[in-house]
Amino acid sequence: MWRLAVGAVLVLAGALAVMRLEAASPPMPTASLTEILTALVQQEDSATLSGHHQALAAVFGPQAAGAPALRKAEHRMAYIREWAAARAVHFQRVVVSVRITRVVWRGPTVVRIDAADRARYVYRQAGAPSSAWFGLGVYHRYTLRQQDGRWFIAADDFIDPLNQDTRLPGAAHPDSLRVPAAGRWRTRSPGADRALAYASTYCGAAPGCGNDGRYNPRFADYNWNGGDCTNFISQVLWAGGFAQTAAWHWKVGQHDGTVDWVNAHALVRYLEATGRATVLSQGSLSELVSPHGGEPAPVTRLRPGDVVGYVEHGRVAHLAVVAGDNGAGYPVVMSHSADRYREPWDLGWDHTTRYLLLQIHYPAATASPTDVRPATEAADGSTSRPAPTPPTGRPTAAGEETGREL
């Protein structure tokens, strides 16, 4: 009995020590931590593009061989290099910045960090007149550890947008794909223009997004609770002029959305049932980029403002809005979970993924809803509450049973 008591005292003493450390001055200011983390992530992302295995492993420390964080990084390296080769894409560089949102010290040499990584990828695709770029914003929960005077990433919990299907091991084996531009991006409706203006403003932490890289604070952030992609697409469609309905609306008093507002599979069913969208085509990547019976490839019928659904195991697991093309005729998209700004539409998805192409029939109204503005811009001049802080869970991977999907 006395041993149990002693053990309880030791556990309590350890907890109190951590509390004292957190309450006292931290071992390092956040600005210095930001510099350290930015350098580590920059090295990781640069090595991912170059295929430099030694530089990649060095990010995770001398004892990192076989560690989960390193294995995930190696998988994404294999994926993006194979995808680039199949798409005739040459990545020229990546530039990273980091915004730290929470720091918890676990001792003088161990720290847990919640952070948004913002990466700008510059690339050139064969046939393009010039280079293009896209932005990725990813929310991480890092553990950094210091050893022999150097800091390393000991653990990294996040949804990987460069290897999105988390239920399949390793990297994808994508089909070769080229899509001619055919001038299809020139015509779009005023509703699509309004929708895309909203999307580019509130697409989040990805470089290129507006609003200081933050979501519209009027709406909840579900990144740590099943994914925020469908909540974002619903906002985009609303900004495009669609009226909210009993089945599809944002519940202001509860700071939550209806199932059709926040669940990807449910939203697609709702859009089809109400005639707000028509399925242009669905199938594998190779099926959607190949002509059929004298008709052009289905993907060439997409227009800016249309929506792409990503189907896994028979259910729509993710949604993104088509932003246009990259100059080589390749469709690019914007989304949340992860935050994407003009990213090539199939980047990050496995060869088993099926796609759903939705043509959106935007209303002909000339004005967008007035209350899609962030609450900080309320007409009466009132001040909004700040954007919600993610709860202390882990980011939920694609397709996990949460009631929402990415």
Give the pair of three-digit tokens for residue 207: 């470089």
Q: Is residue 263 domain-shared with residue 116, that is, in the same domain?
A: no
Task: Tell whether 109 is covered by a domain.
Answer: yes
* DSSP 8-state assignment for residue 292: B
pLDDT at position 182 is: 44
Provide the CATH number for the domain around residue 351. Answer: 3.90.1720
Task: Tell whether 392 is covered by a domain.
Answer: no
Amino acid at 148: D
Q: Is residue 320 domain-shared with residue 229, that is, in the same domain?
A: yes
Q: Is residue 246 domain-shared with residue 123, that is, in the same domain?
A: no
Q: Is residue 108 domain-shared with residue 207, that is, in the same domain?
A: no
From 2, 165, 150, 169, select the one nearest 74 (Cα to Cα).
169
* DSSP 8-state assignment for residue 319: E
Q: Is residue 194 domain-shared with residue 282, that is, in the same domain?
A: yes
pLDDT at position 38 is: 98
Q: Is residue 219 domain-shared with residue 131, that is, in the same domain?
A: no
Task: Tell whether 95 is covered by a domain.
Answer: yes
Element (H, E) at 266: helix 264-273
Q: Is residue 199 domain-shared with residue 115, that is, in the same domain?
A: no
Provide Rg for the chain, Cα atoms: 22
What 3-state class would DSSP assign to 101? strand
User: Distance between CA atoms of 190 and 211, rounded to whole angstroms?
Assistant: 22
Per-block mean pLDDT, blocks of 10 residues, the chain (406 long): 47 47 69 97 97 96 81 90 90 98 95 97 92 96 94 90 53 48 61 97 98 96 91 98 97 93 97 98 92 88 96 94 92 96 93 94 68 38 32 36 42
The separation between CA 18 and the C-alpha centre of its own chain, rounded to angstroms, equals 33
pLDDT at position 178 is: 53
Taking the chain, what is the end-to-end CA distance rounded to the nearest angstrom? Answer: 50
Instruction: Give the count of domains, the chain.
Output: 2
pLDDT at position 251 is: 93
From 356, 332, 347, select the one nearest 405 (Cα to Cα).
356
Domain end, chosen from 157, 177, 199, is at 157
What 3-state class would DSSP assign to 36? helix
Range of the domain at 281: 190-377
Give the pair of three-digit tokens for residue 10: 């030791």
Amino acid at 382: S
Task: Tell whether 185 is covered by a domain.
Answer: no
Provide the CATH number for the domain around residue 78. Answer: 3.10.450
Q: Is residue 114 domain-shared with residue 217, that is, in the same domain?
A: no
User: Distance between CA atoms of 359 and 284, rounded to whole angstroms?
Assistant: 18
Give the pair of three-digit tokens for residue 202: 């509130």
From 34, 397, 395, select the one nearest 221 (Cα to Cα).
395
pLDDT at position 169 is: 42
pTM above 0.75, yes or no: yes
Q: Is residue 200 domain-shared with residue 257, that is, in the same domain?
A: yes
Instruction: Give me the half-sphere count of Cα atoms (radius 13 Å) on the Cβ side of residue 184.
Output: 24
Please, what sign has the CA dihedral across residues 320, 321, 323, 328?
Answer: positive
Task: Tell whether 170 is covered by a domain.
Answer: no
Q: Is residue 312 domain-shared with residue 221, that is, in the same domain?
A: yes
In DSSP terms, which residues pair with 132 in a beta bridge?
123
399: left (phi over 0), alpha (psi -120 to 50) or beta: left
Task: Tell whether 386 is covered by a domain.
Answer: no
Please state the length of the chain. 406
132, 124 Cβ separation under 8 angstroms = yes
Task: Tell whether 394 is covered by a domain.
Answer: no
156-187 b/e with 16+ CB inside 10 Å = b?
Answer: bbbbbbbbbbbeeeebbebeebebebeebbee
Q: Is residue 194 domain-shared with residue 122, that is, in the same domain?
A: no
CB count within 10 Å of CB 199 equals 28
Q: Is residue 208 domain-shared with residue 144, that is, in the same domain?
A: no
Task: Tell whether 169 is covered by a domain.
Answer: no
